[in-house]
Structures are given as C-alpha cells and as structure tokens.
Amino acid sequence: MTSYHKIRIDGVNVFFRSAGSVLKPTMLLLHGFPSASHMFRDLMPLLENDFNLIAPDLPGFGQSDAPDPDEFEYSFEHLTDIIAKFIDVLNIQKFYMYVFDYGAPIGFRIARRWPDRILGIVSQNGNIYQEGLGPKWADRQDYWNHPTVAKRDSYRSAFAAKTIIGQYTYGTVPDTVSPDGYTLDIAYTHTPNYAERQLDLIFDYQTNVRLYPQFQEYLRTYQPPLLAVWGKNDPSFIYPGALAFKRDDARARVELVDSGHFALETHAEEIAAYIKEYFAH
C-alpha cells in the first residue's frame, strides 16, 4: 500500500508518497507541470511488488511547501538541489528514475551529478532534445530572448482550468481520462503566489534547453538502461524527442502509446508492463 510523508529539506517541507519494499530496487518518480506526485497514483500500485517507490512533490507543487517567490528561488537548478538533498536524507544510494515533463531536466541534472548512482531511467514525455519541442516552444524562445512583462503575463493562460484540462485530454480517446487528476491540479492553482512561482519556472525553463547537449553527453558517456515511453499525441513534447534517445544511448528502448501528455491517465497498466519487462528483477 502507499503511505504519505513529509520531510524538511532546507526549511521546506517536502511531501512524498512511498510504496513497495525497501528490499527492492528504489525508483524515484519525478512529476511535471502542473501536477504533483498524485500523477503516479495509478502506476505505483502496479509497480509496488517490484520496486521501492518514492514520489516527492517538488517545492511549489502539490502538498509540499510553496515558499514566497520573493524568498525562494524557483529555478530548476534550485529544485534539483532540494531533490538531491531529499535523496541523501532518505539515504537512497542507487536508484532508478521515472521522469516526466519538468521532472526530466531535474532528473538528468541529478544523473549528471551522480552518474554512478543511476540504475536506469524511464522517460515518459520527459524531453531532452530539440526535436522533441513542439510548435509552442518557438514563442517561448522568443520570450526568453526578448523578455517583457507583457509576455510573462501572457503565460498566465497556462494556469487556466481549460488549459489544464486540455493538457490531460488532448490526444486521448474521448471519455477515457478521469477528471480526478486535472481537478486536483486546478485546485492547486488557487494557492497563494501560484502564478508567480510558476511563471518564474516557465522563464527558467530556458536553462534546461541550454543543458540538453550536456544531458545527451551524459547518455553517450554512461549508456544507462533507458526506457522512453511516450504519449505519441503530446503536442508539447512531440514523439521525435523519444526516438532521439536511440541516437545517444545504445540501450534505449522506445515505446509510443496512443495517448497525450499525461499518458499515465490512460495507459498506466501498459506503461507498468513495459517498466517491469525492461527493468524489474
């Protein structure tokens, strides 16, 4: 069964859910935007017999603390620092990672820091390639190159209920996505300073794109076992980003499922089967 915890890291209470046995290999599950560890609510019961599963909420997301952006730096490097300390406090020495969306640049930063501690990687719509960036990223590149207050404010639409529901349902068969996940994500948008901390991360995402070559170099150098499972209809991180893993990692396996960005909402059982087939001992 899944249990729920909080641990204090650098003055921030980090919430995490845990399942499985400590006698099994650990898998760290890193969520993306605009979600939190509840995105793994269907997957964890399917993997708990094979792994020790740890799924934190990033600071500023879900049930973790969300410090005021004036007092806490919402950047991917800082979030990585927090998660790295979280890993050490829990004494996780070697581990698999499941990375999705925002979780990918955080996870690959961790992998570059500790290559010898990574047992393998599942990347589910977790992009580290230019060819995986969908059409919307051209506008973001313009924003990063020529930032203005007006452009920053335009991204407040990303937090609208309609936008979040679309992230969940676009590219899926009608009536197959439960409202549970997106309803909870929409509720979190009403927490204090939500927009400002998320807008900070949207602007900082440019640092991830700049690091893509270094993430790719990590793969070429260390050749970790890697399973790229992609909702092939995702308009944000398009499926050529999944295929690109094979260019740098000879051990990469790519599986495309008929879903969108939040592929676990419709294909948790299929994704769990791929993970167990590829990784489980």
The set of catalytic residues is 261
For residue 193, what pLDDT is reported? 95
- Listed residue (150, 140, 144, 14) closest to 72, CA to CA: 14
Instruction: List per-block mean pLDDT (blocks of 10 residues) for the chain, which spans 281 residues.
Output: 96 98 96 98 97 98 97 98 98 97 98 98 98 94 96 95 97 97 98 97 98 98 98 97 98 98 98 94 56
- DSSP collapsed to 3 states, the chain: CCEEEEEEECCEEEEEEEEECCCCCEEEEECCCCCCHHHHCCHHHHHCCCCEEEEECCCCCCCCCCCCCCCCCCCHHHHHHHHHHHHHHCCCCCEEEEECCCHHHHHHHHHHHCHHHEEEEEEECCCCCHHHECCCHHHHHHHHHCCCHHHHHHHHHHHCHHHHHHHHHCCCCCCCCCCHHHHHHHHHCCCCCHHHHHHHHHHHHHHHHHHHHHHHHHHHHHCCCEEEEEECCCCCECCHHHHCHHHHCCCEEEEEECCCCCCHHHHHHHHHHHHHHHCCC
For residue 237, what pLDDT is reported? 98
For residue 281, what pLDDT is reported? 56
For residue 54, what pLDDT is reported? 98
The structural domains of the chain, ordered by start, are 3-278 (3.40.50.1820)
Rounded distance between C-alpha atoms, residue 81 and residue 65, angstroms: 15
Peptide bond before residue 34 is cis, with ω within 30 degrees of 0? yes
